[in-house]
Amino acid sequence: MAAFAIRVPSVDDLLDPYSTEPLERRPLRDEIRERILLAWIDTRDERPSHLSVGLPAQERERAPAASIQAAIRNDFVETFRSSTRFHVFTRGERREAAVAFVFLIMCLLGSSLIDSVTRDDALFSGISQGLLVLGWVAMWQPAQQVFQAVSRWLSRGRYRELSQVPIEIEWV
């Protein structure tokens, strides 16, 4: 079986640098997790035997290999656990999504009101269309979170597989 690898310039580029967790519990950055998942999905016919992570040699003293391996393993285990239930928003994100939805409704109502009052006036038609775009832009982030939650839920089997793949740290 083939190996698959990722090379990162530092531990902070691999793991969430804003996390207050100890190194072993720090989550992967979202883009790193996504890149590993996509590489794993792309190797469906010939599953790699292990994940190889290349880090600069000067990071060795700062972060022992065992701690980095534990962090990656814990991230995949936690991602698998969270993907088994369909959870889209945290409490704060739910509030933001509700505000964005109310704003969208207000923009739609305002656009409809402008359209019904002004009858094909180019200036007011532009304002009406601008309100529509503004309302939908407000919903962008909540919609993105829904798509990410669906994608994570659909990938739960792959995350289970990744949580069991051997991990090697290479100092380059």
DSSP state of 59: G
The model carries a pTM of 0.77
Whether pLDDT at 132 is above 80: yes
Query: What is the distance between the alpha carbons of residues 90 and 92, in angstroms, rounded to a whole number?
Result: 6
**Amino acid identity for residue 164 in this structure:** Q
Whether pLDDT at 32 is above 60: yes
Q: Spell out the residues 6+ positions from residue 83 whose beta carbon is closer than 8 angstroms to its own.
A: 152, 153, 155, 156, 159
Going by their DSSP bridges, the two strands 167-171 and 4-7 should be labelled as unpaired
Higher pLDDT, 149 or 45: 149
